[in-house]
């Protein structure tokens, strides 16, 4: 999709369709007032005047998330229409229409980014395996903005487009089916990413390297899979020297059957989405390269399947991890933390970042606790957790800070090893999983590390807002907004 700022009134712009917003039910300056009143237009309404090629959406305010959702409502009504171009009016809230002041300009920029995101995210569909599909036909969006800096306005639209395209790129990876999307396919995609941007480099490591590195927890999870494990390292380096080095670590389970502690069939379904954390880190790198962010950004992806078979790792096994900590396996379905502990250890030693953030669909407990719409922000540094939550929420994603406490720590004690990989009963499961990872965070990284449990929002069974059913790209927008607001 192409987004263009037009610095004149929308009435003078030619487009196939027009989307207009009405704040609440205030129809004072609306040319279609009588028609809308006649149709019973009120707060929350969407009214499509098809013969006029115009659709009205009632919005409660002009906040970025309201705009994204409003656009998704309009596109839902217009799905199936063969529209090539859409025009949007000047957003008519006094707060964003004044122009002139810096604060007002920033508000306009946030609104414009959100508009681009709203279109791109809502227009997404995964049609790979549908014989008959009707993808969205919109190619051009004109946004009418007057009385403000056009260069900045265009940059804001571009930023929104980049962020949303990166999210859609991740959705494609998450939605791709497990017989196709193997760890080797993820390597191929990561290499393609590096070929597309000269600022991005990709290195991939297979079984032999993992053995040499003593990454025995990661290797154990892979044991029953016909596809070898892959550690992928993507690096984005800006043209000028970077001020900061940020490292994202992603859980990349291309399939999680649970292993010998096998999942019930209803829970196993959708576990192709257990690669969402790793996929998100790829999207983050893509967007960093396109936005030319001034930070050095790394992505470390731990990629494997968790399968069953005669060679599978077992409950009762003890694994010696890369850092030397021994882990008693009491549940093979708590595999994500086994992959991540070795990857986090590797990232600290090999990347030495200023910030270390892992993204993982780690626990069902996080979904039970927070629901389908919220990710958990876990770590030792409360100020960092809160700062991340605040910045990330500008993206429209929801985050909640979860705090460790010392009572939970002994629950990970093992009678035969340094630590066990799960706590029977599962109480406080999102936090105990976080505490397991914390065992692998060195003292000097304790305050620099965050663990994001994206198990709830990463994959949705039923569409909501601008998320079609399936992979959502959770974590991408949150992490990008956090970096943009640093
Ligand atoms: N991949 C799952 C977590 C998950 C559950 C993600 C639901 C998305 C939706 C993870 O590997 C897992 O199975 N965790 C176990 C841990 C338990 C055995 C301690 C869980 O949450 O049940
Ligand atoms: Zn699992
Ligand atoms: Zn898993």
- pLDDT of res. 9: 81
* Cα 234 to ligand 1 centroid, rounded to whole Å: 26
Instruction: Tell me the residue ranges of DSSP E strands in 98-159.
Output: 140-144
**Burial (0-12, 13-18, 19+ Cβ within 10 Å), 180:** exposed
Write down the pLDDT at residue 29.
Answer: 87
Does residue 478 surpass a pLDDT of 80?
A: yes
Exactly one of 152, 207, 245, 263 is catalytic; which is it? 263
Ligand 1 proximal residues by C-beta, below 6 Å: 256, 274, 331, 333-336, 361-365, 367, 422, 426, 429, 455
pLDDT at position 319 over 80: yes
**When comparing pLDDT for 14 and 99, which is higher?**
14
Q: What is the mean pLDDT of residues 80-96?
A: 77
Instruction: Say which range, 64-78, 134-148, 153-167, 219-233, has the weakest mean pLDDT.
Output: 134-148
- Strand 230-236 vs strand 200-205: parallel, antiparallel, or unpaired? antiparallel
- Average pLDDT over every residue of 280-300: 98
Count of Cβ atoms closer than 10 Å to residue 49 Cβ = 15
Cα of 69 to ligand 3 centre, how many Å?
30
- pLDDT tens digits along 195-215: 999 999 999 999 999 999 999
User: Which pLDDT score, from 0 to 100, does residue 91 have?
Assistant: 64
Q: How far is the CA of 199 from the centre of ligand 1 (A)?
A: 35
Place of tokens 């016909």: 226
Ligand nearest to the CA of 459: 1
Q: Quick one: average pLDDT of 91-110?
A: 70
353-371 exposure pattern, b = at least 16 Cβ within 10 A, e = fewer: bebbbbbbbbbbbbbebbe
Predicted TM-score (pTM) above 0.75: yes
How remote is the CA of residue 253 from the centroid of ligand 3, in Å? 6
The residue contributing the CA closest to ligand 1 atom 13 is 333
Q: Which residue reads 């998100």 in tokens?
A: 280
Residue to probe by mutation, ligand 1, list 364, 365, 434, most atoms within 8 Å of CB: 364
- 263 as an active site residue: the answer is yes
The order of strands in the sheet holding 296-306 is 200-205, 230-236, 296-306, 245-256, 355-360, 449-453, 374-379, 398-403
Which residue from 264, 303, 307, 333 has its CB within 8 A of the most atoms of ligand 1, so it is best to mutate? 333
CA distance 66 to 240: 36
Query: Mean pLDDT across the chain, nearest whole number?
Result: 96
Q: Is the pLDDT of residue 350 over 50?
A: yes
Which range among 41-45, 176-180, 230-234 shows the weakest confidence by mean pLDDT?
41-45
The model's pLDDT over 303-313, given as tens digits with 9 standing for 90+, comes to 999 999 999 99
The burial class, CB within 10 Å (0-12 / 13-18 / 19+), for 51 is: exposed
Can 161 be counted among the known catalytic residues?
Answer: no
**Pairwise CA distance, residues 339 & 277, whole Å:** 12
- pLDDT class of 89 with cuts at 50, 70, 90: confident
Q: Which pLDDT value is given to residue 103?
A: 85
């Amino acid at each position: 999709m192409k987004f263009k700022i037009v610095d004149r009134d929308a009435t003078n712009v030619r487009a196939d369709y027009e989307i207009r917003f009405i704040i609440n039910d205030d129809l004072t300056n609306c040319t279609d007032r009588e028609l809308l009143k006649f149709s019973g237009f009120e707060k929350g309404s969407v009214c499509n005047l098809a013969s006029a090629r115009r659709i009205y959406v009632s919005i409660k305010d002009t906040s970025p998330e309201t705009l994204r959702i409003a656009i998704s409502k309009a596109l839902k009504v217009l799905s199936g229409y063969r529209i090539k171009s859409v025009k949007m009016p000047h957003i008519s809230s006094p707060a964003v229409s004044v122009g002139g002041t810096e604060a007002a300009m920033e508000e306009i920029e946030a609104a414009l980014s959100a508009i681009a995101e709203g279109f791109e995210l809502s227009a997404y569909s995964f049609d790979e395996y549908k014989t008959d599909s009707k993808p969205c036909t919109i190619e051009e969006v004109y946004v009418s903005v007057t009385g403000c800096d056009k260069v900045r306005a265009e940059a804001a639209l571009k930023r929104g487009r980049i962020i949303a395209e990166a999210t859609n790129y991740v959705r494609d990876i998450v939605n791709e089916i497990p017989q196709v999307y193997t760890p080797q396919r993820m390597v191929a995609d990561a290499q393609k990413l590096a070929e597309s941007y000269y600022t991005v480099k990709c290195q991939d490591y297979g079984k032999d390297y993992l053995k040499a590195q003593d990454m025995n927890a990661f290797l154990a999870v892979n044991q029953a899979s016909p596809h070898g494990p892959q550690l992928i390292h993507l690096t984005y380096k800006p043209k000028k020297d970077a001020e900061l080095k940020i490292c994202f670590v992603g859980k990349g389970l291309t399939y999680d059957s649970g292993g010998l502690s096998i999942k019930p069939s209803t829970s196993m379904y959708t576990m192709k989405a257990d690669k969402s954390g790793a996929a998100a880190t790829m999207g983050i790198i893509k967007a960093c390269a396109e936005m030319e962010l001034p930070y050095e950004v790394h992505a470390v992806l731990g990629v494997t399947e968790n399968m069953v078979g005669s060679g599978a790792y077992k409950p009762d096994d003890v694994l010696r991890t890369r850092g030397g900590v021994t882990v008693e396996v009491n549940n093979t379905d708590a595999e994500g933390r086994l992959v991540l502990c070795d990857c986090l250890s590797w990232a600290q030693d090999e990347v030495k970042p200023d910030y270390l953030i892992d993204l993982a669909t780690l626990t069902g407990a996080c979904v039970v606790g927070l629901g389908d719409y919220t990710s958990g922000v876990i770590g030792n540094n409360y100020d960092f957790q809160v700062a991340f939550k605040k910045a990330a929420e500008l993206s429209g994603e929801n985050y909640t800070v979860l705090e460790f406490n010392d009572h939970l720590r002994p629950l990970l004690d093992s009678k035969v090893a340094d630590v066990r990989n799960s706590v029977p009963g599962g109480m406080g499961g999102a936090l105990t999983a976080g505490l397991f990872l914390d065992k692998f965070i060195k003292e000097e990284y304790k305050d620099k590390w965050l663990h994001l449990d994206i198990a709830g929002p990463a994959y949705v069974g039923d569409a909501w807002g601008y998320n079609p059913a399936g992979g959502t790209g959770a974590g991408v927008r949150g992490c990008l907004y956090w970096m943009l607001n640093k």
